[in-house]
Amino acid sequence: MIRVAAVGDVHVGEEVDEGLRRDLATLGECADVLLLAGDLTRHGTVAETRCLTAVLDTVDVPIVAVLGNHDHHSDEVDGVVSELEGAGVEVLEGTSTTVEVGAATLGIAGAKGFGGGFVGASASEFGEPEMKSFVRHTRDVADRLRSALQDLRADRRIALLHYSPIEDTLHGERLEIYPFLGSYLLAEAVDQGGADLVLHGHAHAGSERGVTPGGIRVRNVARPLIQRSFRLFELDEPSPAASAAS
């Protein structure tokens, strides 16, 4: 059994989050890895990131993260990533990593994602440069995510995002803002690249559960939505026969 703890949108400011610290300190008892689905900070400053890494200090399992839009707000992304990596957090952006859990390998491909909307109500790469640039960013991120998943050799695979790949997990948010909350291009990338589970955040007022058009489970783990320090998932290790066949 591979045990995964996940949370997004912890939005750490320049103060100690005691609730988060307390819950994460005992994480090793129930999880083999911690996944952070973006918006780790409130304004994306290095100072806030230090407050987060101080809290993560107590975590004794591997930590893998993607950034969110808030983590970009102060244009200190390089510093934020350095601080996280210095604390042992692996930060993914169109890249992947693996974590050994017993005899099994868990693969995680991650990307921030971006907006653009969903089938029938999505932005196109057409018109003004700003519009084309907006959609092209989503397409680039999705392409890198697809490649990362396709190249990922692991027994079980998780796609880690900040923005949502589907509408289901946005239900509860206002319909008008869906194009700012995610893009179907992300779901298409995951369905083509393959995964056992997709985790994302960003939509604080959304819903927890959904599925991609290709049938892959999607879970929104935004902390304001789950109202906990993290959600837990258990993935079966593949049977020896299945491993040999793959």
State which H helix or E strand residue 218 sits in. strand 217-220
Beta carbon of residue 3, minimum distance to other proteins (angstroms, whole number): 7
Q: What part of residues 66-105 is at the interface with other proteins (CB under 8 A)? A: 70, 73
Q: What part of residues 7-36 is at the interface with other proteins (CB under 8 A)? A: 11, 13, 19-20, 22-23, 30
CA-nearest of 125, 212, 197 to 165 is 212
| Tokens 């058009």 belong to residue | 213
Does 57 bind other proteins (CB under 8 A)? Our answer is no
Does 191 bind other proteins (CB under 8 A)? Our answer is no
Candidates 77-85, 90-98, 184-192, 218-226: pick the segment binding other proteins (CB under 8 A). Answer: 218-226
Does 136 bind other proteins (CB under 8 A)? Our answer is no
> Of 62 and 206, which has the nearer Cβ to other proteins?
206
Q: Decide if 170 contacts 182 (C-beta within 8 A).
A: yes
Interatomic CA distance for residues 161 and 9, integer angstroms: 11
Q: Decide if 33 contacts 64 (C-beta within 8 A).
A: yes
The DSSP annotation for 117-142 comes to EETTEE--S-SSHHHHHHHHHHHHHH
Beta carbon of residue 12, minimum distance to other proteins (angstroms, whole number): 9
> Of 62 and 115, which has the nearer Cβ to other proteins?
115
Q: Decide if 160 contacts 109 (C-beta within 8 A).
A: yes
Candidates 56-64, 134-142, 144-152, 225-233: pick the segment binding other proteins (CB under 8 A). Answer: 225-233
CB contact burial 111-136 (16+ within 10 A = b; e otherwise): bbbbbbbbeeebbeeeeeeeeeebbe
Q: Decide if 8 contacts 202 (C-beta within 8 A).
A: yes
Does 60 bind other proteins (CB under 8 A)? Our answer is no
Binding residue for other proteins, selected from 227, 239, 245, 246, defined by CB under 8 A: 227
Does 139 bind other proteins (CB under 8 A)? Our answer is no
Beta carbon of residue 217, minimum distance to other proteins (angstroms, whole number): 6
> Which neighbouring-strand residues pair with 64?
35, 90
> Of 73 and 136, which has the nearer Cβ to other proteins?
73
Binding positions for other proteins, rule: CB under 8 A: 3, 5, 11, 13, 19-20, 22-23, 30, 42-43, 70, 73, 173, 196-197, 204-205, 217, 219, 223-224, 227-236
